[in-house]
A and B are shown apart, each in its own frame.
Chain A
Amino acid sequence: MKLRTKLTLFNTISKLVIVTLFVSILPVLIKTINRNYTDSRLRKEKDKVLQTVKNLGIKYYIQNGEGYAGYTPIKDSYVSLDADSLDENLDTIRNEERRVEGDTIQYRILSHDFDVNKEKYLLEIGISLDSVNEESGPLQNIVFVVLVGMIILTIVADQLYSNYVLKPLSLIIKTKLVGNKFPNFGIYKEVKTSTSDFQHLDISIHQMIETIENAFQKEREFISNASHELMTPISILQSKIENMFEQEDIADELKVRLLEMQRILNRLKSITKTLLLISQIENEQFLREDKIPVNELLQEVYDEISIRLQDKNISFKIDVPANVVLVNVNKFLLFNLFFNLINNAIKYNREGGEIRVEALHENNQFVVKVIDTGIGISAADLPYIFNRFKKLKQSLQQDSFGLGLPIVKSIADFHHIKIEVESEKNVGSTFKLIFSPELIG
């Protein structure tokens, strides 16, 4: 999961939990607040009444022994004052029912006993519970709506900010890590950010890439220089051997040995030329400007290779659509790619075997398959077949030095052609070349 998604998810969930908690305790909270507020109102009323009694005497309320009772017209509160005959001294606030003019109403009632002139009186002040609670419903709703609105706002704000603050990170991932073909990273472009962690990450990745790139560059340069430097001595030796071979006073026996020397020199030359080619391809020293029909290219390869097919009595079939033209390719390199692939299919084939080259359009890609009936490659060896100088056990008897498939691989990489290999031991191998639409004219 992406960091940004995780952060957003966490933010949302934590806020939802907090809000749910808050909303669920809200009724209790409001009730408590309401009750406290009502109780303090009742006490204030009581003090007012007692003050009046003290200032104006009990007669203000009670005359001729008749109790006082006053209601507001909608009966949401009342005050009553009467003589009390009970012994106990009441001073409570509680919820009780009262019948008022035929209606039974729940009241919050303050009851208070007090003495005036040795007479005991009971004061009751009531506020109807309906009137107390009637605000709490809408209030709860408003609080809920406001909270939800605030949450949505903060989530949006969080999202925007984390987007903004994490942008350098996704930029680093996108431009520095994903989609970069190893080891060709191209030039360094600083990712602009004020977050020091990202600056540090960016520069560290850059330094690492630079180190790797330098190592690769050095290796390529070394191979290129080494093979160039080897060309001249090889050339001198070859010329010397050829000249000696032409001398008439040399015995045939010696000539045979000269020939052996030449063969060994040839081997050295072959390795050096191959390494040079690979390093030149990796250094992008070839152009990709040619245009060639696939079947024409395969025919050219066939012309060069038919003698090898004949030598091993291998049947060869090309089943390729006639109208497919490869563009933006290097003809020399592609020729060598197919030559090596088919040459391998011959080398590791059985006497009287079969090779098929098939091509088809798959989605908008073009796929060429080289299918042989050879010795196959074991699953354990399969990951290593493109490694330089890697010789697989079953191929040891062949006169090759393990650079055929590395040539194929580097040419394919150079053209961004994907290679897939399927193989079954003692049954055969299929090499699948996948050409992207840009290479198809």
Chain B
Amino acid sequence: MNVLIIEDEKALARELEIFLTNYNYICEVCFDGESASEKVAVNLYDFILIDLGLPDYEGLDLLKEARKNNPDAACIILTARAEIYDRIKGLDMGADDYLAKPFSLLELQSRMQAITRRKFGLKNNIIELGDFLVDLTERIISYNNAVISTITKKEFDLVAYLILHKNRTVTRNQLSEHIWGSIINDDYDSNYIDAHIKNIRKKLNAYSPPEWLETVRGLGYKIRINA
């Protein structure tokens, strides 16, 4: 899939490019609004990531142009301004999603995946994990066709996030940010992810040991799925 990254912070644009390339996206990078405007006029993209705070261009104008010339592209707004009005305005003008800086790269990728699933209607939404089946659309985990109802919403979120980044170690920080990112509080080091994982293991163990859910010592967690 083709991604256009419009970001005037070169260092950040570079990291986005490295990361998305790693996830098999084909990336193009623009550091200013002028060249981005030309690019969206001539090329077709699947994703356009727009930094709203461009020095030479009104970000929302660029969004309008992108919408017009690339009607099928999914636009994601990246901004450090984080003002709610921008957020509302951006979504009104046809942005598919919005990420406030600083964001986790994994979060960006999961948002892009979610859009892909929505836009391109990916059918393969049921993942096989050992003896368990995880339905990402219905948001349920089942064992032998029986739904495991004890799994809470938060716990499912964690499993789904790990599935999305399968075979990679996801750190506690990244998981915390995904689960509690929108809550503003003054804890910086509290780790309740371990408690959640413990609960998930306990609940699943009643049916079959979830060996696919691995603890990477000192680093985080990983769901192993053999392709």
Pairing of A with B:
yes
Interface residues of chain A, those whose CB is within 8 Å of chain B, are: 228, 231-232, 234-236, 238-240, 242-243, 245-246, 252, 255-256, 259, 262-263, 266-267, 269-271, 273-274, 276-277, 280, 285-287, 303-304, 307-308, 310-311, 332, 335-336, 339-340, 343, 347, 399-404, 407
Residues in B with CB closer than 8 Å to A311 are 192, 195
* Contacting pair A273 B12 (CB below 8 A): no
| Of B63-71, B100-108, B110-118, B136-144, the one with at least 4 CB within 8 A of chain A | B100-108
- In the bound assembly, the distance between CA atoms of A273 and B82 in angstroms comes to 10
* Contacting pair A308 B190 (CB below 8 A): yes
* Contacting pair A270 B16 (CB below 8 A): no
Size bracket, chain B contacts: 35 or more
* Contacting pair B154 A307 (CB below 8 A): yes
* Contacting pair A399 B195 (CB below 8 A): no
**B22 contacts the other chain (CB 8 A):** yes
**B126 contacts the other chain (CB 8 A):** no
Residues in B with CB closer than 8 Å to A274 are 184-186
Q: Given A231-B101, A286-B84, A311-B192, verify A270-B171 contact (CB < 8 Å).
A: no
Residues in A with CB closer than 8 Å to B84 are 285-287
**Which one of A304, A307, A336 has the greatest number of beta carbons of chain B within 10 Å?**
A307
* Contacting pair B80 A307 (CB below 8 A): no
Q: Name which residue of chain A comes closest to B194, CB basis.
A: A311
Q: Given A304-B183, A307-B195, A407-B186, verify A239-B105 contact (CB < 8 Å).
A: yes
* Contacting pair B180 A400 (CB below 8 A): no
* Contacting pair B101 A252 (CB below 8 A): no
**B72 contacts the other chain (CB 8 A):** no
- In the bound assembly, the distance between CA atoms of A238 and B181 in angstroms comes to 14
* Contacting pair A276 B192 (CB below 8 A): no
- In the bound assembly, the distance between CA atoms of A402 and B186 in angstroms comes to 7
Q: Given A401-B188, A404-B185, A407-B184, verify A242-B11 contact (CB < 8 Å).
A: no
* Contacting pair A399 B187 (CB below 8 A): yes
Residues in A with CB closer than 8 Å to B38 are none
For residue A132, give the distance in angstroms from its CB to the closest CB of chain B: 95
Q: Which of A231, A255, A280 contacts B219 (CB 8 A)?
A: A255
Q: Which of A240, A270, A332, A339 contacts B15 (CB 8 A)?
A: A240
- In the bound assembly, the distance between CA atoms of A269 and B80 in angstroms comes to 12
- In the bound assembly, the distance between CA atoms of A391 and B183 in angstroms comes to 21
* Contacting pair A267 B218 (CB below 8 A): no
Q: Name which residue of chain B comes closest to A399, CB basis.
A: B189
* Contacting pair A404 B183 (CB below 8 A): no
For residue A416, give the distance in angstroms from its CB to the closest CB of chain B: 20
For residue B106, give the distance in angstroms from its CB to the closest CB of chain A: 7
Residues in A with CB closer than 8 Å to B183 are 304, 335-336, 339
* Contacting pair B190 A236 (CB below 8 A): no
Q: Given A259-B218, A304-B180, verify A238-B187 contact (CB < 8 Å).
A: no
Q: Which of B12, B102, B153, B186 contacts A404 (CB 8 A)?
A: B186
- In the bound assembly, the distance between CA atoms of A260 and B106 in angstroms comes to 18
- In the bound assembly, the distance between CA atoms of A252 and B81 in angstroms comes to 36
Residues in A with CB closer than 8 Å to B174 are 242
Q: Name which residue of chain A comes closest to B108, CB basis.
A: A239
For residue A300, give the distance in angstroms from its CB to the closest CB of chain B: 11
* Contacting pair B82 A276 (CB below 8 A): yes
* Contacting pair A266 B180 (CB below 8 A): no
- Interface readout for B16-36 with A: 1 if CB under 8 Å, 0 if not? 101100100000000000000
Q: Jot down 18 A-B pairs with beta carbons below 8 A, ordered by A.
A: A228-B81, A228-B82, A231-B82, A231-B102, A232-B12, A236-B9, A236-B11, A238-B104, A238-B105, A239-B15, A242-B104, A243-B15, A266-B173, A270-B187, A276-B82, A280-B83, A304-B154, A304-B180
